[in-house]
Amino acid sequence: MRPAYGVVHATASGRVPPLDGNPMAMQPTEGRGAWSGKLGFVLAAAGSAIGLGNIWRFPYMASEGGGGAFVFVYLLCVMGIGVPVLFAELAIGRATERNPVGAFKKLAPGTMWPALGGMGVAAGFGILAFYSVIAGWTVGYLWMALTGAFGPGVDAAASGALFGSFIGSPGPAIGLSALFLIITAVVVRGGISGGIEKASKILMPVLLGVLIILLIRAVTLPGGMDGVNYLLRPQLSELTPQVVVLALGQALFSMSLGMGAMITYGSYFPKDISLPFAGTAVALADMCIALLAGLIIFPALFSAGMDPQGGPGLVFVVLPTVFAQMPLGGFFAILFFASLSIAALTSTISLMEVVVAYLVDERGWARKKAATIIALACFVLAVPSALSQGAVGWLSSMPVFNQSFLDVQNILWGNYGLSIGAILITLFVGFKWGTPKMLEWIELGGNRLPGREFFAFMVKYVCPLAIAVVLVFIAVTGQYF
């Protein structure tokens, strides 16, 4: 069956003009807004994907996974699992022009499937609440860089102490996450083309420019090439099941998969542009930025003679000491933490948009009201995360999972939420909706998806199975990603 909806574009005001007289064509999109074109979508969706996951999380995951071995498996996971799930989500969004709950309601009315969309909306909310706390740290570090806090005297011990006291201080931790949620809400209130797309069109090129400057600086440092080798030369001896789990989890998180963010972004996709092209561009951009971040951090680290191990503190603890030793390090520290804040912002925007789109589509809320209320509600859940890094003892080590409140949120929403979500989304497409329908919507407008049968096979069989294996592994071993 040929999809019934006409081509719909948003005007500068974000309103959708009636382009044809077919009521079927107008109903779904009216008032929702749409990307103004291919570039708008690619930048916004790449903005969602590229975030703390690429610049903060990828490098420390890589160091935990032995450098090149992790990167090798990660690239396989992106291509074999991430890209098929990405296309599955985008196809659902494009076909339904709805938020995750509305999308499943439309494709499987009268079933339990819309609950899967509800889980995605809840995960968006849950991830936003802890993600905004870490995003707040990046703003704090940007401020410190601007005020010259990473001067030559900052050694590993001083940097560790600074990080500990900074994230353990309730005022900055709460205040900065609130600031981040406010900025996010301001953009989301502006709508699709007028808010999210406009912000992404400015922020993404700035981010890329800053990262390229940092890359040139890092790889030309004395000894910097050792870091390049560490990241790009897989040591087969480092390949363990744990590395595979880390890599698959990183691929899902980094590409914003498993909770309907890409269903939501796909739902604003104009019908006349090529989804195979746009989807591939988003996946490539996400992968390249992660590698770029690695190619900045590891050469800088090796050049300073430091150990690549550093866990979640790698970027916040280790890098400032590297900047402290580098010529013009203070300037590069500003650039680095500015880029981290920008990347985080375009991701928090997408997390909030999933929840807002649900409230707008399904509950009939006004967009502005939805964004404001979600920011406030999210702030309430962000406070315990902000206080769980030393400020309040019992929040810092919860009986559940023996982790801090923030880490518990990450495990619940980031690990379990995204992987269960991705399994169910691929099962839905594979066995309920059907991969032929998925391909039809991806290829709408006659743009063929290269390797279409491969993607269909991966979505139907390999993705759910592979992610389920990872899920069982983390549940049994308690080793999260």
Residue ranges binding ligand PFF (CB under 6 A): 48-49, 51-54, 124, 127, 253-254, 256, 259, 261, 347, 350-351
**Per-residue CA distances from 342 to 143, 162, 335 (Å):** 14, 23, 11
Q: Which is nearer to ligand PFF, 347 or 426 (CB)?
A: 347
Task: Give the nearer residue to ligand PFF in terms of CB position, either 131 or 230.
Answer: 131
Determine the Cα–Cα distance for residues 25 and 4; give it in Å rounded to an integer.
Answer: 7
State which H helix or E strand residue 280 sits in.
helix 275-303
**Using CA atoms, how far apart are residues 92 and 102, in angstroms rounded to an integer?**
11
- Phi and psi (nearest 5°) for 392? -125, 120
Find all residues with CB under 8 Å of 52, minimum gap 6, and list them. 131, 134, 135, 138, 340, 343, 344, 347
| Minimal CB distance residue for ligand PFF | 53
Nearer to ligand PFF, 245 or 257 (CB): 257
Report d(CA 394, CA 5) in Å as an integer: 53
Give me 261's structure tokens. 């963010």
Taking the complex as a whole, the smallest distance from the CB of residue 51 to ligand PFF amounts, in Å, to 2
Of 127 and 287, which CB lies nearer to ligand PFF in the complex structure?
A: 127
Closest by CA to 242, choosing from 73, 463, 458, is 73
Residue 230 CB, shortest distance to ligand PFF, in Å, is 22
- Provide the minimum distance between the beta carbon of 37 and ligand PFF in the complex, in angstroms, as a whole number: 22
Residue 96 or 321 having the CB closest to ligand PFF: 96
Query: What is the smallest separation between the CB atom of 414 and ligand PFF, expressed in angstroms?
Result: 8
Mapping DSSP onto H, E and C, the string for 78-108 reads: HHHHHHHHHHHHHHHHHHHCCCHHHHHHHHC
Min dist CB 221 to ligand PFF, Å, is: 26
- Residue 439 token pair: 């391909």
250's CB contacts (< 8 A; 6+ apart) are: 53, 57, 58, 61, 74, 77, 481
Amino acid at 160: G
Q: Which is nearer to ligand PFF, 326 or 354 (CB)?
A: 354
User: Would you state the structure tokens that stand for residue 321, as one six-digit string?
Assistant: 């000491």
Minimum CB separation from ligand PFF for residue 360, in Å? 17
Give me the sign of the Cα torsion angle 427, 99, 339, 481.
Answer: negative
Least distance in angstroms from the C-beta of 127 to ligand PFF: 6
Q: Which of residues 304 and 423 has its CB atom nearest to ligand PFF in the complex?
A: 423
- Give the closest residue to 134 by CA, choosing from 106, 101, 163: 163
> In which region does residue 227 sit, left (phi positive, over 0), alpha (psi from -120 to 50) or beta (all else)?
alpha
In the complex, the smallest distance separating the C-beta of residue 253 from ligand PFF, rounded to whole angstroms, is: 5
* Residue 351 beta carbon to ligand PFF: minimum distance, rounded to whole angstroms: 5
Nearer CB in complex with ligand PFF: 51/329: 51
